Structure 1
Amino acid sequence: MPPATPRRTVLAAALAAAAGTAASVAPAAALADEAPSRAPGLVDNHFWSTYTDWRCGTASGTRAVAGHRPGLVIDTPAGRTDYADPHTGRTSTWEYATWTSPVHTSAVPATEVIASWNAHTPPGTWIQVDLRGSYGDGTDTPWFVMGRWASGDADIRRTSVDDQSDGKASIWTDTFSVDDPASGLRLLSYQLRLTLHRTPGTNLTPVVRRLGAMASDIPDRFTVPASLPGLAHELTVPRYSQNTHVGQYPEYDNGGEAWCSPTSSQMIIEYWDRRPSSADLAWVNPAFADPQVCHAARSTYDYQYAGCGNWPFNAAYAASYPDLNAVVTRLHSLTDLETLIRAGIPAITSQSFLKDELTGAGYGTSGHLMTVIGFTEDGDVIANDPASPDNEAVRRVYRRREWENIWLRTKRYDANGKVRSGTGGVCYIFWPVKSAPSQHRALRSLGLL
């Protein structure tokens, strides 16, 4: 079974990625032109990424930069601050500058919000992402830390922050969650704040290219309505097994046995023809196969959560490669996944299930990620499942109805009959900045652009 570590969030799951190979039934470009439009549902995605977006926020020491891919950088630091890294014991002084987004009123009064960001952090820099919101009862949240992040780990240890609550909502690793959704309390609007840090006296700066969040209100459900098959198509995605890395670098979430999320992320990163350099991989034991999977695990590891399954950290890792966008979101059905596959875009989905709930898996898991790479003629899901004995065995076919239910439900029973949380359709999606028109249309139809 995939020994994926259970997520310590109310969603109680890790991410799963799937890749695959084989011939397609129809050309992706032609199929993408048939992508259906969709009505708003229970999810609101909002992102800041354009030059105009960065100029609309409130800046203190930051400035917007234009060009091929606009972003936000340090201009004149707003000041200096000391940061005591709880994972190294070191206290260091940093110059910092901030940017606060305009207030975004969510189309969905939300019980949960997950932020994600795309940034470049050269050595000597890092960023912090905070969230503040307003409830329907007229009160406001404090600023909650959603993540302290750097692509490397030499300056700070990237980390989520535990024990954040205002008595109405809490932060569970990477997720803002209303404590009692049954009370009717909802978050109506929010702001995000970026704090960019750099080594004092230098001209270094992080560059943030995209910042946003997914707000949602998914009803409690043990089962979801079935969708009808609408596509037979398969993408050719690299296959990597997490289990070939069992015992390697146990300091990163016990080694490969728990690396479903970074293994999945790496498959899709390479699908888009991006790879770590030889210098990036120089630290990996040359005797290990697929060293890029080890690199992905180290690059997504959350030192507070003590695992590689932090969703925004996986998206941020993917977006650290040249001209890749990455977001964490929720989708509504397998029809949404078909829209992406039709356009040539694989997706990483998060699910949890008992052994008898997913025919052919051969295991049960409290949280696992796989990459959806296509659909059969019967509408069944073709997934690259990293919980496989070797790379060749990664491609799997799972029954459509079973897959849809274990992915989209928010409640499930564990082996002892206790009610546990499901992920409610969480997934991450990576795509190139210079995407094809058909891909652009598909992403827009799903509210991601």
Structure 2
Amino acid sequence: MLNVALTRFTVPPPAPGDCWTSDDQPTGFPAAQLVPSWTAHTPPGSWIEVELQAVTADGRRTRWYVMGRWSERGGPRTSVAGQGDEDGDVAVDTFVARRPVAAYRVRVRACGPGVRVGGLAVMASAQPPPHPEGSPPSGLGPVELAVPEHWQHAHAGHHPEYDGGGANWCGPAATAMVLGFWGREPGDLGEVGGGCPHPAVDHAARGTYDSSYLGTGNWPFNVAYAGTFGLRGFVTRLRSAAELERLVRSGIPVVVSLSFKERELPGAGYSTSGNLIVVTGFTAEGDVRVNDPAVPDGRVRRVYPRAAFEHVWLRSSGSGGIAYVLHPPEVSLPESDGNW
């Protein structure tokens, strides 16, 4: 089983310019990747910077890597490119180690007054396998959550300043679907919608756009955006459709990241180098029910074969099982094996 550990931190309210730094967090295994995620309140003119420092297996500390500068309103909302060195690099939202990581620290800097960090988590994982094993169906019968449908291609050409909608907006569409499921859609939609049928997607694009990556698919930024509407959230790695099902059967839809050729995922009808979709349920046979915003024909509700879905989602050439989980504080998560 893939080694994954998610650690949550409580960050006290910082004064402007202050930094909060965690203690060393042992990973418990040689980690290859670290992904932080957070929710925060940043008044106008304020923002936060999140950094990671790794401790290598031989006990040496790396330098601090900036994992994101974020504010609710943008300015800044950016990842930081060009940080690679002999120890690792930052690939938009992921620290990719070049030497095995035995521990890490996380640091949050408050830039401006009134900053509050509602939640902070770091996922550490080993390198996912190239050919993951599948999981058997639970046999518990069908389940499906009533997640609203948003089709990203209906927004083609919207807001060029936020990567232009259409094929580029799987993240905003997925996050907007989950916000809609929880009844947490934004109220100020007129200023971004432009008469489109689902302006919540445009709003999510504005709220997640990464000005360095030049896109809306930054995983922690999608979590942070959802946090501005009162949801808790985190990025993690799941290791099977069985873990997905535990969350869905607890009433929690899950956003997952995967990539595939059209022939690898029957029923999709397209190929992608990276797509975010919402897992909404399972059939009696264990196949995966999803809302897939990237489908070419607008029929967002799909059922994907379990074995094919697990393969393209969990393999190392894809996302390695990346998911982000969003839920209200009053909705409890099921028990886990340490990855949520």
TM-score by shorter chain over 0.5: yes
Distance in 2 separating the partners of 1:387 and 1:334: 21
Distance in 2 separating the partners of 1:226 and 1:288: 40
What amino acid maps onto 2:127 in structure 1?
I
Q: Counterparts in 2 of 1:389-408, with a 5 A limit?
A: 393-408=299-314
Partner of 1:422: 318
Which one of the candidate residues 301, 306, 311 is aligned to 2:219?
311
**Any conservation in 2 of the 1:44–1:108 contact (CA below 8 Å)?**
no
What's the CA shift for 1:277? 1.4
Aligned residues: 338
Larger radius of gyration between Structure 1 and Structure 2: 1
Q: Counterparts in 2 of 1:1-40, with a 5 A limit?
A: none
What's the CA shift for 1:295? 0.6
Partner of 1:189: 103
Question: Residues 154-183 of structure 1, C-alpha deviation per residue, up to 9 Å, x if partnerless?
Answer: xx231000111231211111111123xxxx
**Any conservation in 2 of the 1:243–1:390 contact (CA below 8 Å)?**
no
Q: Runs in 1 of length 4+ with deviation above 2 angstroms?
A: 388-391, 446-449
What's the CA shift for 1:384? 0.1
- CA-atom RMSD, angstroms? 1.6
Q: Alpha carbons of 1:258 and 1:447: their partners in 2 closer, same or farther (altered >3 Å)?
A: same
What amino acid maps onto 1:196 in structure 2?
A
- Please say if 1:205 is aligned against 2:114: yes
**Any conservation in 1 of the 2:5–2:339 contact (CA below 8 Å)?**
no
**Any conservation in 2 of the 1:241–1:389 contact (CA below 8 Å)?**
no
Partner of 2:96: 177
Partner of 1:375: 282
What amino acid maps onto 1:373 in structure 2?
T
Question: Residues 241-284 of structure 1, C-alpha deviation per residue, up to 9 Å, x if partnerless?
Answer: 10100111122123232100111011111111101112xx2422
Unaligned runs of 5+ in 1: 1-39, 55-63, 65-71, 78-95, 180-184, 199-203, 411-420
What's the CA shift for 1:389? 5.2
**Any conservation in 1 of the 2:153–2:165 contact (CA below 8 Å)?**
no
Distance in 2 separating the partners of 1:220 and 1:168: 22
RCO higher in 1 or 2 (8 Å CA, sep ≥ 6)? 1
Unaligned runs of 5+ in 2: none
**Any conservation in 2 of the 1:43–1:215 contact (CA below 8 Å)?**
yes
Distance in 2 separating the partners of 1:285 and 1:430: 24
Partner of 1:6: none
What amino acid maps onto 2:308 in structure 1?
E
SS of aligned partner of 1:239: coil
Distance in 2 separating the partners of 1:428 and 1:149: 18
Question: Residues 330-363 of structure 1, C-alpha deviation per residue, up to 9 Å, x if partnerless?
Answer: 0010010010011111101111101100111111
Q: Given the two structures, how large is their TM-score scaled by the length of structure 2?
A: 0.95
Distance in 1 separating the partners of 2:128 and 2:313: 14
Question: Residues 61-86 of structure 1, C-alpha deviation per residue, up to 9 Å, x if partnerless?
Answer: xxx3xxxxxxx242xx4xxxxxxxxx
Distance in 1 separating the partners of 2:229 and 2:70: 15
Q: Given the two structures, how large is their TM-score scaled by the length of structure 1?
A: 0.73
What amino acid maps onto 2:102 in structure 1?
L
**Any conservation in 2 of the 1:108–1:215 contact (CA below 8 Å)?**
no
Q: Counterparts in 2 of 1:32-51, with a 5 A limit?
A: 41-49=2-10
Partner of 2:65: 144
What's the CA shift for 1:109? 2.1
**Any conservation in 2 of the 1:117–1:316 contact (CA below 8 Å)?**
yes
What's the CA shift for 1:218? 2.7
Which one of the candidate residues 207, 222, 225 is aligned to 2:133?
225
Which one of the candidate residues 236, 250, 271 is aligned to 2:181?
271
SS of aligned partner of 2:52: strand
